[in-house]
Amino acid sequence: MTQVSIIVPVLNEEAAIHSAVSRLCRDFPDCELIVVDGGSTDATVELAALHATVITSGRGRAKQMNEGARHAVGDILWFVHADTDINPCALDQIRAALADPAVVGGGLTLRFDRRTPGLNYLAWTSNARARRLHHIFGDQAMFIRRTVFDALGGFPDLAIMEDLEMSRRLHRRGRLCLLPAASTASSRRLVTHGTWRMIAFMQYLKLLYFAGVDPEAIRARYTAGPRLFPNRPPRAARTSRT
C-alpha cells in the first residue's frame, strides 16, 4: 500500500491542535503524522507531541511544509491545516487518484464549518476555480506525489501565496484532481472580519500577487486585515486624540 505522510504546519494553535491531531490519528491510522511548529509560544508543541511526531522549523508556512516533507517517508505528501476537518474517505480517494501516473496531486472539496450565503458562495467559487483554473489553496488539503514535489524543490519560499504558486507549478507537470471528499475549513477569520468583505479582500490580494507585488508586502497587507486604510489607527483611537 502506498505510504502517505500527513504534514500539519502550526503556530500557536493550542486551542485546535489536540482535537486536530487526535482526529487525524483516529481517521488515518496508517499514515505518518508530522506536525511542524514554527516557533509557538503556547502549549501547541506539548499537545501535538501526544499524538504526532513534532519537528521545528523557521516561521512561515512554506518553510514549515518543506521541513515536514524533508522528514517524511511517504510516497504521497498530504498537507493539512490544523483548523480543518478532513472526511475519512479522503485517503482512499487520494490513493486511487494517484494510481494514475498522469496525476501529480490535487486537493479536496472545500466546505466551511458553518453555512451562510457568503460562505457557501466562497466554497462554490473556490471549488470551481480548482476544477477550471487548477488553483488549489491550503484549506483544500493539498496532496502531492513525492517524486514531483522533490523535482520542483518543494514549495516556493514565499511569505504568502505559496499554495497558489505550487499548484500552478504542479499543473505544468501533470494533472491535478479535485476530489469529492470534503475538507471542512474554519470560518473564524472570515466571519470575524465579515465574509463578503474578506472575499473581496482575498481577490484583491491575489490581484496584487499576479501583478508582481512582493509577497512579503502582500503578507503584511493580509495581516493588517481588510481595512481600507490599514496604516491608520481605528476611528476610536483617532477620535480620542481630538
Q: What is the per-residue pLDDT across 116-166, written as a single tens digit (0 to 9) for each?
A: 999 999 999 999 999 999 999 999 999 999 999 999 999 999 999 999 999
Task: Name the grid cell of 207.
Answer: 490581484
What is the rounded distance in angstroms from the CA atom of residue 119 to the CA atom of residue 121?
5
* Residues 105/78, Cβ–Cβ less than 8 Å: no
* Residues 198/222, Cβ–Cβ less than 8 Å: no
What is the rounded distance in angstroms from the CA atom of residue 5 to the CA atom of residue 211?
35
Give the model's pLDDT for residue 1.
Answer: 78
- For residue 101, give the amino acid letter: P
pTM for this predicted structure: 0.91
pLDDT, tens digit, 9 for 90 and up, residues 7-36: 999 999 999 999 999 999 999 999 999 999
Instruction: Please name each of the domains of the chain with its CATH number.
Output: 4-192 (3.90.550.10)
* Residues 174/139, Cβ–Cβ less than 8 Å: no
Q: Is the pLDDT of residue 231 over 90?
A: no
Give the model's pLDDT for residue 103.
Answer: 98
Question: CB neighbours of 101 closer than 8 A, spacing ≥ 6?
Answer: none
